[in-house]
Amino acid sequence: MKKLTSFLTAVALLTSMSGCDKGFDELNVNPIALTSVDPAFQFNTAVVSTAFGYHNLQYETIIVKQMINPFSGVGAAGQYNQDNRGVTAANWQQGYRNVVRELTDVLAQTKDVPARSNLYHMTRIWQAYQFMMLTDTYGDIPYLEAGKSYLEGIVKPKYDAQEAVYASLLTELETASAALDATKARVTSDVIYSGDITKWKRLGYSLLLRAGMRLSKVNPTKAAEVVGKAVAGGVMQSNDDNAILRHNANFQNPPGAQLNGGQADFFYLAEDFVTHLKTTDDPRLNSIAVRYIGAKSAVDQKEPSANRTAAAQIGMPQGFDNTTISAAVKTDKLVSLYEYSQLDRSRMANAQAPTFFVTYAQTQLLLAEASFRKWTTGDAAALFANGIRSHMRQLASYGASTAIAEPAITTYVGANPLAAGKELEQINTQYWVASFLNGPEAWANFRRSGFPVLKPNPFPGSDLKTEQFIRRLTYTDAERNVNKTNVEQAIARQGADLLDTRVWWDKK
C-alpha cells in the first residue's frame, strides 16, 4: 500500500511536470523559407501575370469578332453567347489572385519608405491598370478592400460601385504619375521600362487618357477634364514608349502557348475581321493571317500548305459550331473548317510573342477622338494617321516576318484619310484593329464607342436576354458562395448578374 502511495505521488508529480513544449517555438520556424523579399521582384511577378490569357480569346476577342472558336466543349463561351462561369471567372481570378495580391503587398511594404517612392508609385499605376480591366469586365468590384485577406484579415471584401472605382482610379493615375521622381531611386529591375521614370510617367498619363476617354458616354465633361490633365502630364511619344512584355521560352505568351499546343486548330480569324482588312487592303492582314490551303484535318495544318497572302484569306463566319459549320464550309468552297484563315501561330501568336498592354498607337487614336471632340488640341486627322502608322510599325516587334514596309504603310494611310462625318467610326475601327490580341481593351472600346459596326453573333440559343452583344462578364460562382452579401449588394446596385447588364460607363 505504501508503495502504491508513492507510485501515485510520482504520477502526480510527472503529470504536473512543466516544460513539455521546450524548444517548440524554435522548431516551428521554417529555416529555409523566405520571410521577406525585395518588393520590386513581386512587382515584376504582378506585371508578368497581367499578360492577357487564353480566356481573353474565348470571350473578348470573339465578342468583337476578330477570332472565333467553333468547337463545343468546356471552352464554350463567346462563340455561343454563353455564360460559361468557368471562363468568365478567369479575368477575376488572374487579376485578384496573381496581380492585386502582390501589388497590395508591395504597396504596404513601400508606402512609407521614401527610398522606394518610385516603386510605390509605379505599383499604384499598375494596380490602377489592373483594377480598370477588372471593373471594365465586371462593373462593380471589390476595390478598396481588395487584396487584404492577410494584411487586414478581410476575406470578404465589399464591392465598390464602378463610378467610385473610376473616381479613385483617375486620382491614383494622376497623382502617382505626378509623384514619380527621376531624382529618386530608380527601380532598375522593372521588366517593362527598367525603371525609366519618364516612360513610367508617360504610361501613367496614357492610362489616365484611356480611363478618361472611357467616360465619354457617361460623363463627357469629366472625360474632357481628365483628357486635359493627361495631355498636360505627357502621354506616350513614340512606339519606344509602348508598355510591352517581352515573353521568352520560360515565360511564354499565354495564348501563343495554347495556340501552339493543344488548341492549334481551334481558333480561326473571324469573317468580320478578315473582310474588313481585305476590303480596306490593309497590309496588316499579311502579318496576321495564315491559311492552310486544302487542309482536310488538323493534321494538314502544316507549313507546306500555308498561304500568308492577304488575298487568300477567308474568315470563318460566326453562328456555327464545328458540326453545323459544314454549310458555311460548302458556301465558302472549302474542303473543311480547317481551311479557314487563322492567326499565324508561327508569327504573331508564337509562344514568345510579346504582349502589348498600352501602346502609342492606341494613345494616338484616343487623342484623335479627343481632339475631334474638342477635348484637347491637335489635328484629329494627323493623330489618326499617326495612330495607324504607329500600329503598323509596331508589328515589327513580333519579328521581321510581320514587319510592314514603310511604302505599304504610306499607301494605306494615304488611302484611308479621316473622312468628315465618319470620324468616330474610323478612329474606333482603327482602335479595334490596333487593339487586336488585347481583348479587354478592344472589347471595352467597342462597348464605349459602338464601333466598329458589327453584326450580332447569330448563334442560336444565346444566353443574352436583351442585348445584342455581351456587355459584361458575370461574377464567379465562388463569390456567390463565399462573399454572398457583398456580391448581392453589387448586383442590387448595378443590375442582374447577366451578360446583358451594362456597366456604369456603358450608358445606352
Partner 1 sequence: MKKKYGSRWPNQLGFSLAQGLLLWLVVGVAYAHVTHAQENQNRLTLHAENQEIRKVLTDIEKAAGVRFVYSSQVIDVRQKISLHTTNSTLEEVLGKLFKPLKVAFELVGKKVVLSAPVPGSPETGVLSPPQAEFETAIARRAVSGRVTDEKNTGMGGVSVLLKGTQQGTNTNADGGFQLDLPDGTRSSPVVLVFSFVGYLSQEVTVGNQSFLAVSLAPDNTSLDEVVVTALGIKKQSKSIGYATATVSPEEVTVNRTTNFMNALQGKVAGVNITSLGSGPAGTSKIRIRGQSSFGGNNSPLIVVNGVPIDNTNNGARGDVSERGSNRTSDGGDGLSSINPDNIESMTVLKGAAASALYGSRAKDGVIMITTKIRGAGTGIGLEYNTNFTTDTPLDYTDYQYEYGQGENGVRPTTPFPTSGQWSFGEKFAPGMTQILFDNITVPYEPQRGQINQYYRTGNTWTNTLSLSSGGEFGGFNLSVSNLDNKTILPGSGYSRRTVNLGFTQTLAKKLTVSGNVNYSNEYRKNPPNIAEQDFSPVVLFSMANSMPMELLEKYSTDANGDEVRWSRFTNRTNPYFSLKRFDNIRTDRVFGNLTARYNFTDWLFVQGRIGQDFYSREQDYNLPTGTQRQVPAPPGFVNGQFVQDARNVRELNADFLLGANRTFGVVGVNLNLGGNQMYRKISRHNVLVQDFFSRNLYTIGNSRQRDAVYDLSERQVNSLYASAEVSFKDYFFLNGTARNDWFSTLSPENRSILYPSVTASFVFSQAFASALPNWFSFGKIRAAYGEVGSDTDVPPYASNLFYTINAQQFTSVTGAAQPLANISGTVVPNANLRPMRVSEKEVGLELKLFNNRLGLDLSYYDKLSSDQILRAQTSDAGGYQSQLINVGKSQNRGVEMLLTLTPLTRNNFTWNTTFNVAYNVTKVLDLGAGISDSQITVGTGDFTGELRQVVGQPMGQLFGFGYLRDAQGRQVFDAGNGRPLRTPTQIAFGSALPLWVGGITNGFNYRGISLSVLIDFKLGHKLISGTNHNAWRHGLHKATLVGREEGFVIGNGVNANGEVNKTKSGVQAFYETVRSQNIAEEFVYNAGLWQLRQITLGYDFSKLVSRRVSFIKGLRLSAVANNVALLKKWVPNIHPEQFGFPSDNLLGLEATGLPITRNIGFNLNVRF
CA distance 4 to 20: 26
Cell of 477: 460562382
Residues 117-156 that bind partner 1 (CB under 8 A): 141-142, 145-150, 154-156
Nearer to partner 1, 42 or 177 (CB): 42
Interface pick for partner 1 out of 9, 72, 198, 411 (rule CB under 8 A): 72
CA distance 497 to 489: 11
What is the three-class DSSP state of 68?
strand
| Residue 411 interacts with partner 1 (CB under 8 A): yes or no | no
Q: Cβ contacts of residue 170 below 8 Å, gap of 6+?
A: 208, 211, 212, 226
Nearer to partner 1, 25 or 112 (CB): 25
Q: Cβ contacts of residue 89 below 8 Å, gap of 6+?
A: 476, 477, 478
CA distance 465 to 99: 33
Q: Cβ contacts of residue 481 below 8 Å, gap of 6+?
A: none
Tell me which stretch binds partner 1 (CB under 8 A): 114-122, 267-275, 321-329, 435-443.
321-329
Dihedral sign, Cα of residue 241, residue 170, residue 427, residue 57: positive
Residues 482-501 that bind partner 1 (CB under 8 A): 482-486
Tell me which stretch binds partner 1 (CB under 8 A): 169-177, 316-324, 430-438, 445-453.
316-324
Interface pick for partner 1 out of 246, 422, 455, 465 (rule CB under 8 A): 246
CA distances from 151 to 21, 49, 102, 197, 434 (A): 29, 21, 11, 29, 39
Q: Taking CA 95 as the corner, what is the angle to CA 93 and CA 96, rounded to the nearest 5 degrees? A: 70
Nearer to partner 1, 241 or 369 (CB): 241
Residues 214-243 that bind partner 1 (CB under 8 A): none
Interface pick for partner 1 out of 9, 175, 238, 323 (rule CB under 8 A): 323
Nearer to partner 1, 189 or 410 (CB): 189
Number of residues that bind partner 1 (CB under 8 A): 104
- Give the closest residue to 185 by CA, choosing from 233, 240, 245, 121: 121
Nearer to partner 1, 47 or 385 (CB): 47
Report which DSSP code applies to 152.
T
- Give the closest residue to 435 by CA, choosing from 470, 402, 394: 394
| Residue 333 interacts with partner 1 (CB under 8 A): yes or no | no
Nearer to partner 1, 228 or 294 (CB): 294
| Residue 349 interacts with partner 1 (CB under 8 A): yes or no | no
| Residue 30 interacts with partner 1 (CB under 8 A): yes or no | yes
| Residue 400 interacts with partner 1 (CB under 8 A): yes or no | no
| Residue 28 interacts with partner 1 (CB under 8 A): yes or no | yes
Phi-psi region at 65: left, alpha or beta (left = phi > 0; alpha = psi -120 to 50): left
Dihedral sign, Cα of residue 326, residue 331, residue 335, residue 337: negative
The interface mask with partner 1, positions 448-467, x = CB under 8 A, is ------------xx------
| Residue 93 interacts with partner 1 (CB under 8 A): yes or no | yes
| Residue 17 interacts with partner 1 (CB under 8 A): yes or no | yes
CA distance 206 to 453: 26
Nearer to partner 1, 251 or 495 (CB): 251
- Give the closest residue to 136 by CA, choosing from 368, 494, 444, 390: 444
**Least gap, CB of 255 to partner 1 (angstroms):** 11
Interface pick for partner 1 out of 2, 3, 330, 374 (rule CB under 8 A): 3
Tell me which stretch binds partner 1 (CB under 8 A): 89-97, 114-122, 395-403, 404-412.
89-97
| Residue 331 interacts with partner 1 (CB under 8 A): yes or no | no
Q: Are 452 and 446 in contact (CB under 8 A)?
A: yes
**Least gap, CB of 230 to partner 1 (angstroms):** 24
**Least gap, CB of 4 to partner 1 (angstroms):** 6
**Least gap, CB of 191 to partner 1 (angstroms):** 4
Nearer to partner 1, 155 or 182 (CB): 155
Bond before 452 cis per omega within 30 degrees: yes
| Residue 414 interacts with partner 1 (CB under 8 A): yes or no | no
Cell of 274: 478578315
**Least gap, CB of 402 to partner 1 (angstroms):** 17
Q: Cβ contacts of residue 232 below 8 Å, gap of 6+?
A: none
| Residue 192 interacts with partner 1 (CB under 8 A): yes or no | yes
**Least gap, CB of 239 to partner 1 (angstroms):** 13
**Least gap, CB of 299 to partner 1 (angstroms):** 4
Cell of 273: 475581321
Nearer to partner 1, 138 or 412 (CB): 138
| Residue 420 interacts with partner 1 (CB under 8 A): yes or no | no
